[in-house]
Structure 1
Amino acid sequence: MNKLIFILTFLILQSCATKNSKQTVIKPRILISTDIGGTDPDDNQSMIHFLMYSDLFETEGLVSSPSYGFGTKQNILDMIALYEKDLPKLIKHSAEFPLPDSLRAVTKQGRKGAAPYKGFDSSTEGSDWIVTCAKKESNRPLWVLVWGGLDDLAQALHDAPEIQNAIKVYWIGGPNKKWSTNSYAYIAEKFPKLWFIEANATYRGFFSDSNVQDSLKGDKYYENYISGGGYLGKDFKNYYKGDIKMGDTPSLLYVMNGDPNNPLADNWGGRFEKFSHSPRFVYERNTTLADTVSVYSIVEYQLDGPKISIPLDSTCFTMTVHAGVGEQKWPGFYLGDGKFAIRYAPKKSETLTYKITSDIPGFPEHKGQLVVNNLWPGKPLPSDYKLGANWYTDSTDPQLFDNEWQGAKTVLKWRSHVLMDWAKRWTWLKE
């Protein structure tokens, strides 16, 4: 009898230990800053992916940060509404999926439009929420996953500089750097000790079809695995006709798999290397084809013009950039005392032609050209932003380029694994 009691007691204790171990699974604390609803619908694709894996995270914030375009937090709420309809099927497979109302409660509106030259402006619901989350008592960092511009993050750091010690940032840069040059410059200059991954090209490995089996290619995956997958699956077809892009998803993959505290190691979200300087090219003249800058760098034009009576940091001139067959217009700012400035960040290797104009009487028109090479970060310059020990970026190893995209193979190598894992979750929505 004593032996039987001992065995039963042992089994009960083992059962309790197992239950306790399940209860103590440590989830990453995450806050997503997204420009969903803006010009690129890939954020909607990435939001669907996030919601289908939301049982793996302690989601503390979903912030609408449209530095360009017309996105609002309603775009996030619309996605949560679809998730709510699919939740009964998802929750059969994991009781850890968050309640829709808990996600709605942490959905906040951030800044609409890019920050002015100084890199910050006034606080928003979104930037305040970043501060609130970062200040929570925790022995775990808050992972700030930025899918668009850095404007709300820059504002949060300006308002509460102490949070830099409580957060770790994974930023999908590249084109997003064009929309938030000023907030990037502010962060790089004022917060060099921040823990920061700047993925300017690595993320592109996720929507590359190089050496990927046919059924997993971007234009085939929807019909093979997503079609018929609930309300989220039906909605996915609305973005790129279901063709896989999801350029922001690698930031989420980074905290899903591998050791996120070690950017130098393999990870679903990429492998990175340290860099100590972020290139900054400063010109007080028109540039020509004799001038070459690094891709993803900050290119700053500092111009002289008439002294005018308008508020400092006011938008008052425009730089029109022609690349290939298209053109884009960028705002320039008044710094006072007849000084004007504008920042630009090229997203790929190319030759640019630009023109700078203003309605201000006496403001001289400027024209020029610029050559962009594919060397990031390139050789150090005195004008570069000097970075601390915990800044990381795309691997410079030539073996890890996918075509011209630096470091992209460090994500591409896991693409099939990720998509097949996701395919299992799509079957949950087809039951």
Structure 2
Amino acid sequence: MRYIFTFFLILVTLITNGKTVKTANNNSDKARLIVTTDLGGADPDDTQSLIHLLTCADGIDLEGIISSPSWVETPDNTSKIREIVDAYANVYENLREHSKSYPSPEVLYPLIVRGQSKPHVSGIGEGKDSPGSELIIKAVDKDDPRPIWLTAWGGMNTIAQAIWKVKNTRSEKDFERFSSKIRIYDVLGQDDAGAWIAKNFPRITYIRNDKIYGWAPDDNWTKNNIQNRGSFGAIYPDRIWATEGDSPAFLYLCANGLNTPEHPDYGGWGGRFDQEKCRNIRGMDFIVKSGKDEAIYDDYYMYGSAPEGVNAINLWKEELYNDFAARMIWSVTPLFKDANHHPTAILNGKRSLAPLILKAKAGKKLKLDAFGSSDPDGDALTYRWFKYDGPSSYKKNVKIDGIENSSCLITIPHDAAGKNIHIILTVSDSGTPKLSSYRRAIIEVK
């Protein structure tokens, strides 16, 4: 009987309503990403963030790592990026033992290129194309229906140059097709090119996170869980200012069942952002100190940090820390059986990581269940259901019976008609470190 039940459980997780469901790591669940970074400057946080990103690269389609300036002219630091990929190459086989989706070093090396040589808007224009701006154009032009996320860990002008060139060399229709695939996540605003883009191309999705600090682990945790983990951890530099100041830009994109990049207001590991664009979000004061002024582009609009600021990341930080710690263990562990791995969370029989949209009537009850959720290591699972207040348009309390059970019963409030309610399922294992996966249900109340 036990074997029959096991077979039935596997079958349920693979088939729903007679149709094969998507696996968690197919391309439709992954985001496309290009990083522009001023790695190599005085603050080593970009190096920290790139090491962290590479440990998460099995859940993101990484398509470019561009050495690009911020508010001051910087040298070509592509060699320093290659050194980090060299270190990744040394642990690649171990990482791949734990996830076959990690990109090979041979795939990553061609993605490392130089961006603009001069900072700010003054670094863009006729004759100022760079390998980085050309890589961006080529990636956006690729025959792939998914949008591509251009993340700025430094300045924005390599991204701006790519947009400038296409705008000035193609028809309006072709440019609209090009720009419709661009999504931008800007860390703090580190030159005036971001305001220039937002002003001149308001239809581009543009996030500026100016509430970036306060989520990262302390130095002692970092030493024990990252720096002391083999050769890859050994190159993770000590903090000078803030640890991993740029990491939320890629954490926002990790395919974990919580993040929904196309909806900045939904919230996740990389923060939560206002539902409507905000006016004239200023970047770092170094822009003005370097002789530039974003105010000349007023009024411009971007998606800014939601009212809870960095607490939008802190909501998940323990799970985020454990995820990084586990991946560093993978880098030194050649056998799958000797490390912990993420459980698979299934919601109402669905395996896809996309939010599950449900409709319910006010005053009625709605059942959600995690039947079929499993753990690749055979660990016991725990469950947590909760209403995520931030993105829910219904702001009052919602009764959830069975918040720590594998299924729960939600009582839809009588006054919730016309609103939506976001329910997050967190499935955690009993391994070390404890790992979690998520699913999101969005209840649209009639």
TM range (shorter): 0.5 to 0.7
Q: Is the partner of 1:187 in helix, strand or coil?
A: helix
Deviation of residue 204 (structure 1)?
1.1
Instruction: Find 1:52's aligned residue among 28, 52, 55.
Output: 55
Deviation of residue 233 (structure 1)?
0.3
Instruction: Find 1:108's aligned residue among 86, 108, 113.
Output: 113
Deviation of residue 387 (structure 1)?
4.0
Q: Distance in 2 between matches of 1:117 and 1:185?
A: 13
Question: Residues 252 and 130 from structure 1, CA distance in 2 versus in 1: closer, same or farther, beyond 3 angstroms?
Answer: same
Q: Is the partner of 1:137 in helix, strand or coil?
A: coil
> In structure 2, what residue type is equivalent to 1:220?
N
Instruction: Find 1:64's aligned residue among 67, 88, 96.
Output: 67
Q: Which structure 2 residues correspond to residues 266-305 of structure 1 after superposition, within 5 A?
A: 266-273=267-274, 274-278=276-280
Instruction: Find 2:253's aligned residue among 255, 261, 270.
Output: 255
Q: Distance in 2 between matches of 1:386 and 1:130?
A: 27
Deviation of residue 261 (structure 1)?
1.0
Q: Distance in 1 between matches of 2:43 and 2:25?
A: 39
Q: Which residue of 2 aligns with 1:29?
A: 32
Which structure is larger by alpha-carbon Rg, 1 or 2? 1
Q: Is the partner of 1:184 in helix, strand or coil?
A: helix
Say if 1:38 and 1:71, in contact at 8 Å, map to a contact too: no
Deviation of residue 168 (structure 1)?
0.5
Q: Which structure 2 residues correspond to residues 202-217 of structure 1 after superposition, within 5 A?
A: 202-207=211-216, 217=217
Where structure 1 has 5 or more consecutive residues not aligned to the other structure, the ranges are 1-6, 208-216, 280-293, 301-320, 322-329, 331-341, 346-380, 401-406
Deviation of residue 138 (structure 1)?
1.8
Q: Distance in 2 between matches of 1:62 and 1:73?
A: 9
> In structure 1, what residue type is equivalent to 2:304?
T
Q: Distance in 2 between matches of 1:409 and 1:19?
A: 34
Say if 2:188 and 2:283, in contact at 8 Å, map to a contact too: no
Indicate whether 1:171 and 2:199 are aligned.
no
> In structure 2, what residue type is equivalent to 1:142?
I
Instruction: Find 2:204's aligned residue among 156, 177, 194.
Output: 194
Q: Which residue of 1 aligns with 2:145?
A: 139
CA-based RMSD = 3.2
Question: Residues 44 and 118 from structure 1, CA distance in 2 versus in 1: closer, same or farther, beyond 3 angstroms?
Answer: closer
Question: Residues 119 and 266 from structure 1, CA distance in 2 versus in 1: closer, same or farther, beyond 3 angstroms?
Answer: same
Deviation of residue 20 (structure 1)?
7.4
Say if 2:117 and 2:123, in contact at 8 Å, map to a contact too: no
Deviation of residue 197 (structure 1)?
0.1
Q: Distance in 1 between matches of 2:199 and 2:84?
A: 36
Say if 2:213 and 2:242, in contact at 8 Å, map to a contact too: no
Question: Residues 416 and 194 from structure 1, CA distance in 2 versus in 1: closer, same or farther, beyond 3 angstroms?
Answer: same
Q: Which residue of 1 aligns with 2:229?
A: 229
Q: Distance in 2 between matches of 1:234 and 1:23?
A: 29
Instruction: Find 1:43's aligned residue among 36, 41, 46.
Output: 46
Say if 2:95 and 2:102, in contact at 8 Å, map to a contact too: yes
Q: Distance in 2 between matches of 1:48 and 1:265?
A: 27
Q: Which residue of 2 aligns with 1:394?
A: 305
Q: Which residue of 1 aligns with 2:292?
A: 343
Q: Is the partner of 1:74 in helix, strand or coil?
A: helix
Q: Is the partner of 1:240 in helix, strand or coil?
A: coil
TM-score of the pair, normalised by structure 2: 0.62
Q: Is the partner of 2:231 in helix, strand or coil?
A: helix
Q: Distance in 2 between matches of 1:46 and 1:420?
A: 16
Q: Distance in 1 between matches of 2:125 and 2:83?
A: 29
Say if 2:264 and 2:273, in contact at 8 Å, map to a contact too: yes
Question: Residues 20 and 58 from structure 1, CA distance in 2 versus in 1: closer, same or farther, beyond 3 angstroms?
Answer: same
Provide, for residues 211-237 of structure 1, a one-character-per-residue CA deviation record: whole Å limited to 9, x for no partner. xxxxxx41111233124312210101x
> In structure 2, what residue type is equivalent to 1:278?
N
Deviation of residue 65 (structure 1)?
0.6
Say if 1:38 and 1:66, in contact at 8 Å, map to a contact too: no
Q: Which residue of 2 aligns with 1:348?
A: none
Q: Distance in 1 between matches of 2:248 and 2:97?
A: 27
Question: Residues 37 and 185 from structure 1, CA distance in 2 versus in 1: closer, same or farther, beyond 3 angstroms?
Answer: same
Q: Which structure 2 residues correspond to residues 64-103 of structure 1 after superposition, within 5 A?
A: 64-67=67-70, 68=72, 69-103=74-108
Q: Which residue of 2 aligns with 1:410?
A: 312
Q: Distance in 2 between matches of 1:30 and 1:116?
A: 23
Where structure 2 has 5 or more consecutive residues not aligned to the other structure, the ranges are 1-6, 168-174, 334-446
Deviation of residue 86 (structure 1)?
0.8
Provide, for residues 375-424 of structure 1, a one-character-per-residue CA deviation record: whole Å limited to 9, x for no partner. xxxxxx9x763346xx30123x3xx2xxxxxx122122222221111111
Q: Distance in 2 between matches of 1:232 and 1:206?
A: 23
Q: Distance in 1 between matches of 2:297 and 2:58?
A: 41
Deviation of residue 117 (structure 1)?
4.0
> In structure 1, what residue type is equivalent to 2:268?
N
Q: Distance in 2 between matches of 1:226 and 1:297?
A: 32
Q: Which residue of 2 aligns with 1:246?
A: 244
Question: Residues 119 and 109 from structure 1, CA distance in 2 versus in 1: closer, same or farther, beyond 3 angstroms?
Answer: closer
Q: Is the partner of 1:197 in helix, strand or coil?
A: strand
TM-score of the pair, normalised by structure 1: 0.64
Say if 1:33 and 1:62, in contact at 8 Å, map to a contact too: yes
Instruction: Find 1:129's aligned residue among 135, 142, 154.
Output: 135
Deviation of residue 244 (structure 1)?
6.7
Indicate whether 1:385 and 2:386 are aligned.
no
Deviation of residue 120 (structure 1)?
4.1
Question: Residues 118 and 190 from structure 1, CA distance in 2 versus in 1: closer, same or farther, beyond 3 angstroms?
Answer: farther
Deviation of residue 46 (structure 1)?
0.3
- Percent identical among aligned pairs is 26
Q: Which residue of 1 aligns with 2:266?
A: 265
Deviation of residue 18 (structure 1)?
7.0
